[in-house]
Amino acid sequence: MAAGALVAALAWVLSGRPEVAWSAGYGALAVVVPAALMVRGLSRQAGVAGAALAGFFVWELVKVVLTVAMLLAAPRLVPDLSWLALLAGFVVAMKVYWVAMWLHPARRKSIVKI
């Protein structure tokens, strides 16, 4: 969400137009809201591995459908929509996962010698 807000602010500063900032922010929201819903749905599941896997696929489908629905609704919800700014916010919000993973690598378990 912070990366989306940063892109929206940067879009506003560079373009001087608030509708460009709203477009970039909405693009980031089209990533963040469905992902948060998926995490919420997955965190409420408990059970056997097969059910967890099926739940993952269901929530992934919900995430994709909600993302597409939000993108289709964008022209009606964001006045004077800038598709380029929306795409920039969308891509930055998607790629911030990779940046976070790169900045915080998995901890390696030490090998105990016997």
Number of H helices, E strands in the chain: 4, 0
Cα 33 to its chain centre, rounded Å, is: 7
Kindly state whether residue 107 falls inside one of the protein's structural domains. Answer: no
| Segment 28-70, tens digit of pLDDT | 999 999 999 998 988 877 666 677 788 889 999 999 999 999 9
Global model pTM greater than 0.95? no
Distance from C-alpha of 57 to C-alpha of 36, rounded to nearest angstrom:
15
Q: How many other CB atoms are found less than 10 A from the CB of residue 53? A: 10
Number of structural domains found in the chain:
1
Q: Does residue 109 form part of some domain? A: no
pLDDT at residue 102, rounded to an integer: 81
Look at residue 47 in the predicted model and tell me its pLDDT. 65
Structural domain span for residue 57: 2-100
Distance separating alpha carbons of residues 65 and 77, to the nearest angstrom: 17
Give pLDDT, residue 20.
Answer: 94
